[in-house]
Amino acid sequence: MMVLIPFLMHKIGVKKTLLLGITVMIIRIGLCGVADNPIAVSLIKMLHSIEVPLFMLSMFRYFTLHFNTKLSATLYMVGFQIAAQVGQVILSTPLGILRDSVGYHTTFLVISAIVLCALIFAILTLKKDIEDIYGEAL
């Protein structure tokens, strides 16, 4: 799958590919919330193999498009990895409490709703591929 993502990015654009990756994440998490057997959850988890290359490759390309290329690796390490780890620390306790109180299915639907909010935020704030190009152009 990872081999196809650069072609997809070239065809639909970096921002749209990144948003597509987030959309696949919402679908995957939401479907895990409604699935009721281990086989269905296992099949749904296969969407992760589509989500990761969509998300990771387009994120790197977004950084190299809109930021100085010397800065893009630092942005990835600081901006993405640390933010992801801090997010896990902050959200793990409330989501664990939520799972204990309302159950697995509802918790996954709440997580899916949180990612949907992130998608809406990304749609509104991410720069288009043709504006503010400080890195390598398409």
CA distances from 62 to 47, 67, 98 (A): 22, 8, 34
Domain ranges of the chain: 5-125
Least confident of 36-40, 73-77, 123-127: 73-77
Q: Which pLDDT tens digit goes with each residue over 86-134?
A: 989 999 999 999 999 999 999 999 999 999 999 999 999 998 888 777 7
Reported residue count of the chain is 138
Give the right CATH number for 5-125 from 3.60.20.10, 3.90.1150.10, 1.20.1250.20, 3.10.450.100. Answer: 1.20.1250.20
User: In angstroms, rounded to a whole number, what is the distance separating the alpha carbons of residues 74 and 24?
Assistant: 26
CB 84 within 8 A of CB 47: no
Q: What percent of the chain has pLDDT over 90?
A: 64
pTM of the full structure = 0.86
Q: Which pLDDT tens digit goes with each residue over 9-21?
A: 999 999 999 999 9
